[in-house]
Amino acid sequence: MVNNMNKIIRIDEDDLRGLLKEITIKSRHQTRGCNNCNHQHNNARPSCHWCQRTFNHTNKLKKTDIGKFIAKIQNDSAERTKLASKKYSTLEEIAKPYIEMGLAESFAFALAEKPALKKDIMALWFSKWWQQYDATDILICSVLDGTITEDEGKWLNSVRSDHDDLAIACIKGKCTIEWAEALLNSGFNGQAKAVTACLAGGMPDVIAQIGGFDVDESIIPPPVKEVILKKKRKQSENHDSENLSHLGLKSSQHWKEYAGKINLTGRSNMRIEILIENIKKAYNVFETHFVEEELPLPITKNEQTDLLEKAGLKSSNGWSLEFRKNMIRQTVMAFQIDATDI
């Protein structure tokens, strides 16, 4: 909560992150060179009187900035509440006939919100295994929101009493259901402590040796971290294809021209497959920096060099700070990333 003019307003997590980000950006001392001593200064107070003057005139967060931001939060919050209320009223209308026919509210609202999942939702409703749980249990909710299928939920329920942490890990995506099935079927069923050790990253075959029980080596799975890493790589490949589709890079010539546009290092000697992979890598680095982690435009030379080198883009020690910033801005624009603080 924020106290403004003796009024208490509620701030959700996204708004709070935005406020903290605003404070961080506006409070940050600008790194700049002094024309008198040619030194670079960041947050350390300089000794040169010319640098001192520059230091004292850096941007700081003003009370008016906070006031404007809070006003924006109030306006956005009211708009979100209005939209949420409207959405709930619509869902309530859609769910009403199912509720009147005797369907539990959570099931009815799941049908109203995601009608494409009706097969799994109704299969769950008519099954008996879910009735031992409250309708708000994580396992039931995961079937209703489409995280897992009804069949997967039924299997997780069958192992949950002995391996609750394994069931929850499957639901939360910390391991795959295929990996969990292979682990239990290989000889870990009922070995609760050993399963927990595998979920923590231990090699299943080594864990079994330490535990002193036999396993079927033909089906025992690899360490869970390898499975998750493989899954993330596959998702990343699909993500790359989807996110780069808007750039219209269809032919080899398009990709080559684009590599020049973003100043990709070593592009002239790359085979087309390697060049495409490197453009995707650069895109992911920039998207992660500016969109997923919501980091601002790098200010210092080290920050700029780090971003460009991670992305595999050309960087030179002879470039000025402003030139480097412009290169990064141009790359963001070329990728058509909706970046903040650019």
Q: Are residues 237 and 285 in the same domain?
A: no
pTM over 0.85: no
User: In sequence order, what are the beta bridge partners of 237?
Assistant: none
Q: Which amino acid is at 39?
A: H
| Alpha helix positions (H), 185-288 | 192-199, 204-211, 224-244, 252-261, 272-287
Q: Does the residue 157 lie in any domain?
A: no
Q: What pLDDT does residue 26 have?
A: 45
Per-residue pLDDT tens for 197-222? 999 999 999 999 999 999 999 999 99
Domain with 299, as residue range(s), is 248-335
Domain end position, chosen among 84, 114, 147? 84
Residue 155 located in a structural domain: no
Q: Is 235 helix (H, G, I), strand (E, B) or coil?
A: helix
Cα 55 to Cα 44: distance, rounded to the nearest angstrom: 9
Structure-token pair, residue 234: 């596959």
Domain for residue 329, yes or no?
A: yes
Count up the domains in the chain and report the number.
Answer: 3
pLDDT band at 75 (very low <50, low <70, confident <90, very high): low
Q: Which of 12-21, 43-52, 99-108, 133-142 has the lowest mean pLDDT?
A: 43-52
Taking the C-alpha atoms of residue 144 and residue 95, their distance in angstroms, rounded to an integer, is: 14
Residues 232 and 258 in one domain: no
Residue 45 one-letter amino acid: R
Percent of the chain with pLDDT over 70: 65
Query: What is the rounded CA–CA span in Å between residue 209 and residue 217?
Result: 12
Q: What is the average pLDDT score of the chain? A: 76
d(CA 303, CA 233): 27
Tell me, yes or no, whether 145 lies in a domain: no
Residues 253 and 306 in one domain: yes
AA identity, residue 65: D
In a domain, 168, yes or no: no
The rounded Cα 124 to chain-centroid distance in angstroms is 30
Same domain, 221 and 266: no
What's the pLDDT band for 152 if we cut at 50, 70, 90?
A: very high
Nearest-angstrom CA–CA distance, 95 and 114: 11
Given a cut of 80, whether residue 195 has pLDDT beyond it is yes
- Tell me if residue 189 falls in helix, strand or coil: coil
Contact assessment for residue 107 and residue 93, using Cβ atoms and an 8 Å cutoff: no
In this structure, is residue 291 part of a structural domain? yes
Judge if 331 and 256 occupy the same domain.
yes
Alpha-carbon distance 298 to 39, whole Å? 19
Q: What is the mean pLDDT of residues 182-196?
A: 96
Q: 126 in a domain, yes or no? A: no
Its sign, for the CA torsion 251, 254, 258, 260, is positive
Last residue of a domain, one of 24, 52, 84: 84
Predicted local distance difference test score (pLDDT) of residue 89: 67
The conformation of residue 11, written as its DSSP 8-state character, comes to: -
pLDDT beyond 80 at 244: no
Q: Evaluate if residue 150 carries a pLDDT over 90.
A: yes
Contact yes or no for 18/26 (Cβ under 8 A): no
Q: What integer is the mean pLDDT of 63-84?
A: 63
Instruction: Choose one of 84, 116, 148: the last residue of a domain.
Output: 84
Lowest mean pLDDT among 9-13, 131-135, 220-224, 225-229: 9-13
Number of Cβ atoms within 10 Å of the Cβ of 21: 15
Instruction: Return the structure tokens found at 231.
Output: 């899954």
129 part of a folded domain: no
